[in-house]
Amino acid sequence: MAKVQDNKFGNPVVTPKGKLFFFDFDTPNTVEKHPKNQYPSDKYDVTLGLPKTADLSKLKAECEKVAKEAFGTVDGIEMPFANGDEKTMESMKGHIIIRAKSTKRAGLIDETKQRITEDECDAGMWAKIQVTPMTYQSGKTKGVTLLLKNAQVLVNAPYDSLGGAQSADQVSWGDDDNEDHLDQF
């Protein structure tokens, strides 16, 4: 009988500042919450886009360390970094994409270290996340994933929303009294 590989856990690492793409901080990512999502994790999770110029040396070193502990090498091991230029979302271009998940709710604070809720966050906001690298083996696939521990969202920093819509107070409504345009809604 083949020996099952025990997961190896690294030390927690705080990422550089990146853009929030997708996040489920307060409730898990489920098909009920996101009906169009084909691959819900059923976990709390976040997808963060880090600028390609960001210093990822600490995170990469910790991922490589646990891979070597678990598998003896980093060759052929899946790492938790994706090239945003290869993604279909135009807004991911120019970024290194990471996704972190957890079965437990992560701590969520703003830049003043005050607790906030998911409702105060928007796709495109700047954030840092604290993650712990962990190895896994699924069939013949061996890799390193990231466990989400905490997140700091910079809710007061300027950002470009990735939601594809303007807020109502940013729309140029015009000053006519003609209500015919209301049938657009």
Domain boundaries, the chain: 13-159
Q: 102: helix, coil or strand?
A: strand
Distances (CA, A) of 128 to 34, 39, 171: 24, 24, 30
Mean pLDDT, the chain, whole residue set:
87
Identify the three-state secondary structure at position 54. coil
Torsion of CA 129, 127, 121, 102, to 10 degrees: -10
Q: What is the pLDDT of residues 51-64, one digit of tens each?
A: 999 999 999 999 99
Taking the C-alpha atoms of residue 165 and residue 171, their distance in angstroms, rounded to an integer, is 10
pLDDT value at position 166? Answer: 47
Question: In CATH, which of 3.30.300.30, 2.40.50.140, 3.40.718.10, 3.40.228.10 is domain 13-159?
Answer: 2.40.50.140
Share of the chain above pLDDT 70, in %: 85
Q: Where is pLDDT greater, at 47 or 182?
A: 47
Q: What is the mean pLDDT of residues 83-99?
A: 93
CA distance 49 to 149: 17
Residue 163: its pLDDT value, please? 65
In angstroms, the CA 95 to CA 108 distance is 23
pLDDT digit string, tens, across residues 128-169? 999 999 999 999 999 999 999 999 999 999 888 886 544 455
pTM of the model: 0.83
Q: Is the pLDDT of residue 4 over 80?
A: no
Strands 107-109 and 141-153: parallel
Which tens digits make up the pLDDT trace of 169-180? 555 555 555 454
Three-class SS state of 182:
helix
C-alpha span between 134 and 152 (Å, rounded): 21
